[in-house]
Amino acid sequence: MSVESLQSQEECTSSETKMLASKPNPGKTINNFVTCLKSLVVPCDYGKQEDNQVRDIVTTNATNKELKSKFYREENLSLSRLLKTERDATRS
């Protein structure tokens, strides 16, 4: 295993740890939280699963119980659908 590969693996592990420990900041939108999480997943090269990883963390850590319930009721919830649901809820 090359030095670059080891460094990349360590960077990904560090980013995953930060990502899993992340919580949304009070007073900030879910979109802000998504942006923060997306910056943390970059070193991990999740490929097509990147949005799913972010979606799962956002859904798990949502602080608004009504919104969280909407996320869980949504069939085949994508990250873009999650963000639309949040936008629609904040407009109401």
* pLDDT digit string, tens, across residues 6-42: 567 788 888 888 888 889 988 888 999 999 999 988 8
CB atoms within 10 A of CB 57: 21
As for how many domains the chain has, the answer is 1
8 Å CB contact between 26 and 38? no
C-alpha–C-alpha distance, residues 37 and 55, integer Å: 9
CB atoms within 10 A of CB 25: 10
* pLDDT digit string, tens, across residues 62-71: 988 999 999 9
pTM over 0.75: yes
Structural domain including 11 reads: 3-91
CB atoms within 10 A of CB 73: 9
